[in-house]
Amino acid sequence: MDMRACAAPDTILHGSESAGWMKKMRGCRIRGFFVTVYDVSEEIDPEKIARVKRILDGEGFETWGIGLPVGHPAGLDTPRFTYHEGWHVRRDIDGNECRWCNAVTDRLIRDARERVLILRELGIPVMFWDDDLRAGNYEGDVQGCFCSECLAKFVRAYPEFDRKDFGRETLRPVLKKDPAGLSEEELALREAWMDFISAGITRFMRETTVEGVRNGIMVMHRGDRRHGIDIPAIRKACPGCLFRVGELMFDDRSFEAPGNKRALAEGVLRHMALMGDPERIWSESTVYPHGALTPENLRKKIVLERKCGLRNINLMGVERMNSDAYYEMLEKNVRAFEETEPCLTPGNLDGFDFETL
């Protein structure tokens, strides 16, 4: 079992100066760190990334990159979404700016590729794009960017839908979550729009894949073609691509709510079936916000992930596990995690007791 922690550079730089911090990480059998190397609201200095890598190399850990050019700004309340010419904020079906989600533009893809080339020079072997790499927010209707520029780009790609009155109101009735009752023409428009938004995310993954750096995408919980995430297409475009399954239930309230453990398992299993080899797939064992998922519930979540067949554990946000109790739990249970055999399938969830993990 490969277990890695995700952390900001400042966490690692600070941690390296704190007595026992690295020893604590090794005690949990954490093998490496996902380090933020690209953010929507700032460019992280390559020298700072190199310094973090030198620290981790010296401590015997691997360094992988994590990038967030599309969403998740540094502060969730910041109005700042973009800092490059040629980027723009995604707009919803009403034309309103969407928080936490830039549109995927030609310039954004080029800028992201340049960042991966920098990582290659620094000797970082893997780049994972966070679950903000999508064309829509969690669940809901079929989404995408509905600005005039993206609408014009769509009709150029699909001229059969190019007519004088084409616009948001043309798309609105066909993009509902439930397509029941749509005509064949409306269904064709719906499929074409999903093809269009998915092609953007797939192109991003293809063009940011460079020799010497393995590419990976962290998929949103229940993320699919409604959000521009076409997992089979990404696998085809990026042979060897790594994936993180989409999860939720990051705090005790949601994790303990009736039905949510099953919902988590259903989402994990659905994504795993599309992603292929379990060796290339990672969990999303997130604690958010600070301390919101207790160590015991984090243990249960990892056990559930392992029962679903996940072999690699991604501890998202080590700075949010702000208590020694988390690391004591991980160290105590590593062997139990490793010995937990896959046993869950979409067909046997009805008979599984989700409350005795």
User: In this predicted structure, what is the pLDDT of residue 107?
Assistant: 93
- Give the closest residue to 169 by CA, choosing from 146, 192, 191, 145: 146
pLDDT for the residue 163:
87
Higher pLDDT, 86 or 300: 300
- Given a contact cutoff of 8 angstroms between Cβ atoms, the answer to whether 36 and 66 are in contact is yes
- Could you tell me the pTM of the whole model? 0.94
What is the tens place of the pLDDT at every residue in 216-234? Answer: 999 999 999 999 999 999 9
Asked whether the predicted pLDDT for residue 79 surpasses 60, the reply is: no
What does the pLDDT read at residue 83? 57
The C-alpha atoms of residue 104 and residue 89 are separated, in whole angstroms, by: 9
Q: Encoding tokens for residue 119?
A: 């990582």
Burial of 52 per CB tally in 10 Å (0-12, 13-18, 19+): buried
Residues 231-277: pLDDT tens digits?
Answer: 999 999 999 999 999 999 999 999 999 999 999 999 999 999 999 99
Phi-psi domain of 276 (left: phi exceeds 0; alpha: psi -120 through 50; beta: other) = left
The superfamily in CATH containing domain 2-351 is Glycosidases (3.20.20.80)
Residue 157 pLDDT: 96
| Structure tokens belonging to residue 175 | 């993009």
Which residue is associated with the tokens 């960042």?
A: 115
Q: Fill in the DSSP letter of residue 44.
A: P
Domain boundaries, the chain: 2-351
What is the pLDDT of the chain when averaged over all its residues? Answer: 92
Task: Using pLDDT thresholds of 50, 70 and 90, give the confidence band for residue 306.
Answer: very high
Strand pairing class (89-91; 97-102): antiparallel
pLDDT digits (tens, 9 = 90+) for 22-52: 999 999 999 999 999 987 766 789 999 999 9
- Over residues 254-263, the pLDDT tens digits come to 999 999 999 9
pLDDT tens digit sequence for 110-140: 999 999 999 999 999 999 999 889 999 887 8
